[in-house]
Amino acid sequence: MNFVFLSPNFPENYYMFCQGLKNNGITTLGIGDAPYEQLRPELKTALTEYYKVSSLENYDEVVRAMGYFTFKYGKIDWLESNNEYWILRDAKLRTDFNVTTGVRNDVVDLIKYKSKMKACYAAAGVPTARCHLCTTMEEDLKFIAEVEYPVIVKPDNGVGAAATYKLKNDDDLKNFYETKPADVPYLMEEFVNGTIVSYDGICDSNRKPIFETSHYFPDPIMDIVLDVKEVFYWSEREIPEDLKDAGRRTIAAFPTQNRFFHCEFFRLNEDKKGLGKKGDIVGLEVNMRPPGGYTPDMMNFANNINVYQIWADMVAFDKSEYDRNRPYHCVYVGRRDGRNYIHTMPEIVSMYSNNIRMQERLPEVLSGAMGNDTVLAVFETKEQVFDFVKTVLATH
């Protein structure tokens, strides 16, 4: 089997996907814009061959790389980046080179554009917030008259909470139109008072989950970025049955075969007309790639597994055998510079040495959403998770 991995060096932890492919005897071919000598040794070892382009944005160069690999190794069976940014590029390359094992041009819009996701949610029987594609202030005000302020505006084709805003009044709406990029289509949605919960995992060729888990986000990333809040979230040892049901129906309705998935839902904090009662599940958006940051590592730590290998097993065998026990919750906590914390990070590491699995300082490009100093730890109970979060974030 010939597998082309687009941008195998970024994010940095993606070298482990390539390791999993190599473990399964797959010819793993990389295309990236980093010089070969800058690749980490583990990635060099995992790749059969690497083709450097000056820019992955240059489609002609990437096509030449694909042509070279096809000439040398034969037909390409798989192509993937596992990266939200390259989803449209992946689909076009699969279409142009007749790679049938992933999403192609005919359906990629359903997983890339937030406005078009609504139809799949409807097919799954999962309610979603009312929405409206922003065109003019006059049309927006008509929509707002139906749903009332506040409303959420975000790029229709966007990654995470980037350039997402909550508009509370007409002045906010006017400022939005004065500052938004003219060439970026925006989606406006009614505000939903809910807590974000995720349904994450890996699908086989029949859109059935080979692996599934869930994470709980007490604060939306949008609020964390805009208000410069500290961030923490954790994995659930048991997926709530209503979330599992909504998640499975969702991945069955979307073109999610042979993919990692990250589906976000609201659990309503209050009754919402047209959506449901307090506690009900409401669809937010789908991301057909691994969740960002260290979440894949959290999956590993919480379950004593290797999700990178499980994904590679899906590629090679359409299944994976692993320990299905869920021994821990894994919690992520990100602290902010400039806060007067009671405990230093070395003190935290010493206090919880049996629980901590990772502690790192994040680069500036990631710190806005994820914090400056981060720590991942595992615990058997949610009470222990909460005590840990309180200790790490306690200030004078």
In tens, the pLDDT along 83-100 reads 999 999 999 999 999 999
Q: How far is the CA of 259 from the CAs of 103, 276, 356, in angstroms?
A: 9, 30, 30
Buried b (16+ CB within 10 A) or exposed e, 333-362: bbbbeeeebeeeeeebeeebeebbbebeeb
Q: What is the DSSP annotation of 307-367? A: HHHHHHHHHHHS----------EEEEEEE-TT--BSS-HHHHHHHTTTTEEEEEEPPHHHH
Q: Tell me the average pLDDT across 244-256.
A: 96
* Contact partners, residue 280, CB within 8 Å, separation at least 6: 127, 242, 267, 268
What would the pLDDT profile of 370-382 be if each residue is shown by its tens digit?
Answer: 889 999 999 999 9
Whether 195 has a pLDDT exceeding 80, the answer reads yes
What is the pLDDT at residue 323? Answer: 93
What is the pLDDT at residue 223? Answer: 62
CA pair distance 17, 82, nearest whole angstrom = 9
Q: Tell me the average pLDDT across 21-45.
A: 98
* Residue 389, H or E segment: helix 382-393
What is the pLDDT at residue 369? Answer: 78
What is the pLDDT at residue 160? Answer: 54
What would the pLDDT profile of 263-316 be if each residue is shown by its tens digit?
Answer: 999 999 999 988 999 999 999 999 999 998 899 999 999 999 999 999 999 999
Closest CA to 156 of 115, 118, 192: 115
- Inter-residue contact 51 to 30 (CB < 8 Å): yes
Q: What is the DSSP annotation of 98-110? A: T--SS--TTTTHH
What would the pLDDT profile of 210-231 be if each residue is shown by its tens digit?
Answer: 999 999 998 765 564 555 578 8
Q: Residue 164 — very low, low, confident or very high, per pLDDT cuts 50/70/90? A: confident
What is the pLDDT at residue 260? Answer: 97
What is the pLDDT at residue 393? Answer: 94
- Inter-residue contact 380 to 236 (CB < 8 Å): no
Q: Tell me the average pLDDT across 117-142.
A: 95
